[in-house]
Amino acid sequence: SKMLYNDKIMERENLIDIEDRGYQFGDGIYEVIGVYDGKPLMLDEHLGRLERSAKEVQLTLPDSIGDLKNKLLELVAGNELAEGIIYMQVSRGTAARWHEFPKADVSPVTVAYTRAEDRMTDVENEGAAAVLTEDIRWLRCDIKTLNLLPNVLAKQKAVENNAIEAILHRGETITEASASNVFMVKDGEIWTHPANNFILNGITRRKVLQLCDELNLKIKEATFTVNELLDADEVFITATKLDVVPILKVDNHMIGTGIPGEATKKVLQAFRSLYQQNVKK
Ligand code: PLP
C-alpha cells in the first residue's frame, strides 16, 4: 500500500530515523480521519485541528493545508480505500537527541497511511460497556499530540475488563474517555465536558453537538461528576470510526434501563445520515 512521506506519495516503507523526535519524545501531532465509502469525513475540520495543534506546540507545518489535503485525497484514491481511516502525523523532525527544539534547518517529518476497517455497526446499534479510571494526563489534553501513554494504559484496562472504553475522571469530574468524548443524557438534557484544556475537542463531538441542536435536543456543555454519570438516563461516546456508541454499563453499574436510549439513537441516526450525505456529494 501507499504512504505519504513528507511531500511524496510512495510505496509504504520504514523510513523513520531512530532520532525522529516523534519516536523519541512523542514530539509531534497527529490526526485520525474517517473514510466512508472512499470519502474522508470532515477532512477540513481535522486539518483545522491539526493546524491548531501545530501552533500550540510551536511546530511549523511544512506544507500548506491545501497541499496536504490534496495529498491525503490522493493517498486514499491510490490505496483504493473504501471504509477505514487515514492516520497522519507530523513530528518536529530528525535531529541529535536534545530535549530543546532542533535548529531551524531541521524540517518536520510528515507521514500518513490508510487502514481498511469495517464500520462498527453492531456495537453502535447494541451498545457496550466502559470502565472508570483516573485521568492522569497532563493539562493540555486539548492538543492532539503523540504522547498517548496514559491513554494506552487506560484503554488496556478497558480491554482487560471486556469494555470498549475507559472513561476518565479528574477527581470527581468526568473529562472524556481514553480515545473518545463522553456524553450523558439526564432529564432530556445532553451533557458533555466543555471544550477546554482538560479534553480533546473531538471532531465527532463538535458535529454531534451541532446535530443535537438541529434535533432540538437540549445541550449542556458543563462538567458532571462520576456519580452523575452513573445516575444518568443514557451515556454515549463519540470518536472518529466509533461514531456514536451507547454505553450501557460503567464498571458494575447499569446505565438507565441497560439498553440504548432514545436520545442516543436519534443522535446516531443523524450522524449516519450525515456521512451518507457526504458519500452522495
Ligand atoms: N478524546 C481523545 C483523547 C481522543 O484520542 C479522541 C480521538 O481519538 C477523541 C476524544 C475523539 O476525537 P475525534 O472525534 O476527533 O476522533
Give the residue from 116, 142, 170 where a domain finishes: 116
Q: What is the pLDDT of residues 201-221, one digit of tens each?
A: 999 999 999 999 999 999 999
Do both 49 and 67 map to the same domain?
yes
Q: How far apart are CA 161 and CA 141, in angstroms?
A: 25
- Atom nearest to 204 CA in ligand 1: 14
201 within ligand 1 shell (Cβ under 6 A): no
Q: What is the pLDDT of residue 149?
A: 98
CA distance 185 to 130: 16
Alpha-carbon span 150 to 140, nearest angstrom: 13
Domain boundary among 64, 99, 116: 116
Residue 180, ligand 1, Cβ within 6 A:
yes
> What is the per-residue pLDDT across 58-101, written as a single tens digit (0 to 9) for each?
999 988 999 999 999 999 999 999 999 999 999 999 999 999 99
User: What single-letter amino acid sits at 68?
Assistant: L
Taking the model in full, what pTM does it have? 0.97
Of 76, 132, 81, the C-alpha closest to 247 is 132
Long-range contacts of 239-242 (CB under 8 A, 24+ apart): 239/179, 239/180, 239/181, 239/202, 239/204, 240/32, 240/33, 240/34, 240/41, 240/85, 240/202, 240/203, 240/204, 241/32, 241/34, 241/85, 241/117, 241/120, 242/120, 242/123, 242/124, 242/164, 242/180, 242/204
47 lines ligand 1 (CB under 6 A): no
Q: Do residues 97 and 144 share a domain?
A: no
What's the CA-to-centroid distance between 3 and ligand 1, angstroms? 23
Using DSSP, state whether 81 is helix, strand or coil.
Answer: coil
Confirm whether the ipTM is greater than 0.95: yes
> Which protein residue has the closest C-alpha to ligand 1 atom 13?
202
| Residue 241 pLDDT | 84
Supply the residues annotated as catalytic: 144
CA–CA gap between residue 184 and residue 255 (Å, rounded): 10
Ligand 1 lined by 154 (C-beta under 6 Å): no
Give the CA radius of gyration of the chain. Answer: 19
Rounded to whole angstroms, how far apart are CA atoms 175 and 199?
6
Domain that holds residue 274: 121-280
pLDDT for residue 239: 98
Give me the residues of the chain with pLDDT under 50, please.
Answer: none
Whether 129 and 52 map to the same domain: the answer is no
pLDDT tens for residues 225-236?
999 999 999 999
Kindly report the CATH number assigned to the domain that includes residue 65: 3.30.470.10
Nearest residue (CA) to ligand 1, atom 9: 180
pLDDT given at position 156: 98
